[in-house]
Structure 1
Amino acid sequence: MIQIAIISDIHANLIALDAVLTDIKNRGLTQIYCLGDLVDFAPWGNEVIDRIQEKNIPCLLGNHDQRIAFDEAIIPLPHHDVIETSNREIAINISKKEISAPHKKWLATLPYNIELTFKLGTSLRKILLVHASLQSNDEYIHESTPKHALSTQLKQRAIDILVMGHTHHSYIQQDGDVLFINGGSVGRSKEKDRKATYAIITLSHKEINAEIVKVDYPITAVANAIYESNIPDFYGDFLLANNTL
């Protein structure tokens, strides 16, 4: 049996990341992969990168990491209103200024995807890790997104599991022979409880199992740290919405 923890979308929330890493350690899991988006929206972008490096966690390049690493233009998103668009631009520009040059250089080396192949008995299990989708770091694959064409494409590559982040909403969904997993967000969950969220995949020669794990952490403390920083209060208010921690 092989167990893998998948984390994603930390968004500079070191407190949430440490809570998740502690939970993973307490479960005895040693294989961890990160799907990217280490930076933006909380005060600890450099510290989150340090932690990922310290733990030697293989990591993908998220769309936010890409923007900071290569100083790309900030393009407004159609699903954001005027208020969020303005605050997003301020927050990303803060990251562009505050993320250290060595960290930007490291982010620029990260891969877009990782393909894992495990042998269990006579079976090979293939897992493809992406930040958002096969085609783009900005595409959203929601639970409601039709999967048939994507399943066909993945099956041609003998992929059993596609694991992604980006949407900040977790789900597990089987479509034909392919299992789709979105591990949600560690540091900026859009789910009502706002808990730090990640996925565990368990592989055996007989079956594949997946689990979404939600971890409590002091959300109010993170929000207060945002309020005390130069990051817009919008992101502290977001974390406090619909939770009482």
Structure 2
Amino acid sequence: MKIAAISDIHANHLALETILQYVEQEGIKHLMFLGDYITDCPYPGKTMNLLYECLEKYNCFFIRGNREDYLINHHYNPNNNWKYSSSTGSLLYTYSNITQNDIEFFKSMPVSMKVKIDDYPSIFICHGSPVKTKDWLYEKDELIYSHIKDIDCKYFIFGHSHRSYSKNIFGKKVLFCPSAGLPANNNTDAQFLVLEYNDIEWTSKVVSLPYNRE
């Protein structure tokens, strides 16, 4: 049994295409998506179309990230001073190039989720923290534990940091998923996690795939 965890695509559809080619080749049937699907790279519709194709083809689990929250909030409160040629220009461009269906899709996503497949151990996924998409918990072990100690689950995966990280914290296995589209670890490949169950526990590895950016 293998599961792919994909986070922080940020509209890099070329990176996502490369990851999905690997998923197909490896026969992976279950995909966990950890938020921040669009913004920052152009043509968000191309990424959204790939995600909708995944829904038809794989057993998918989606949670939302802070970027989805920004877009949802702008949809219902458009007077938030987003402007082109500013720090919010990418957000405004993205919002102008997505659909009402995309907004509804984002709204349907929870902030966090416990993924349970058949009789395999559950995996808890979130973007920032179990309660907020913008929380920053990367390498903050005590803060991480305060968020997860009362959750009945052994395995946890976080996004948002754009960096990979793995640690056992008081008996709980904590993973941070690297960014598929905008990695922050001096490696420009498309990056994601693959989890595999070995009859005892979930093991994980970072998969790093070069791709053509043109």
TM-score by length of structure 2 reads 0.86
| CA distance 1:155–1:103, change in 2 (3 Å) | same
The answer on 1:133 being equivalent to 2:136 is: no
Q: Distance in 1 between matches of 2:148 and 2:73?
A: 30
| Maintained 8 Å contact 1:171/1:212 | no
Choose 154-163 or 59-68, whichever is displaced more. 154-163
Q: Which residue in the other structure is 1:29 paired with? A: 28
The answer on 1:61 being equivalent to 2:44 is: no
The answer on 1:208 being equivalent to 2:202 is: yes
The answer on 1:177 being equivalent to 2:171 is: yes
Q: Secondary structure at the match of 1:156?
A: coil
Q: CA deviation at 1:176?
A: 2.2
Gaps of 5+ in 2: none
| Maintained 8 Å contact 2:125/2:156 | yes
Q: CA deviation at 1:125?
A: 1.8
Q: CA RMSD in A?
A: 2.1
Q: CA deviation at 1:157?
A: 2.4
Q: Which residue in the other structure is 1:100 paired with? A: 99
Deviation by residue 1:59-95 (Cα, 9 ceiling, x = unmatched): 11111012112316489xxxxxxxxxx7531111111
Q: Which residue in the other structure is 1:162 paired with? A: 156
Q: Distance in 2 between matches of 1:205 and 1:37?
A: 32
Q: Secondary structure at the match of 1:16?
A: helix
| CA distance 1:125–1:152, change in 2 (3 Å) | farther
Q: Distance in 2 between matches of 1:174 and 1:100?
A: 41
The answer on 1:198 being equivalent to 2:197 is: no
Matched residue count: 204
Q: Which residue in the other structure is 1:70 paired with? A: 73
| CA distance 1:110–1:173, change in 2 (3 Å) | same
Task: Give the letter aligned to residue 71 of structure 2.
Answer: I
Q: Distance in 2 between matches of 1:160 and 1:125?
A: 8
Deviation by residue 1:218-243 (Cα, 9 ceiling, x = unmatched): 23x2xxxxxxxxxxxxxxxxxxxxxx
Q: Distance in 1 between matches of 2:44 and 2:71?
A: 11
| CA distance 1:55–1:129, change in 2 (3 Å) | same
| Maintained 8 Å contact 1:46/1:103 | no
| Higher Cα Rg, which structure | 1
Q: Distance in 2 between matches of 1:118 and 1:152?
A: 26
TM-score by length of structure 1 reads 0.76
Q: Distance in 2 between matches of 1:54 and 1:28?
A: 16
Q: Percent identity?
A: 19
| CA distance 1:148–1:24, change in 2 (3 Å) | same
Consecutive aligned runs of 4 or more in structure 1 exceeding 6 Å deviation: none
| CA distance 1:191–1:117, change in 2 (3 Å) | same
| CA distance 1:149–1:89, change in 2 (3 Å) | closer
Gaps of 5+ in 1: 76-85, 222-245
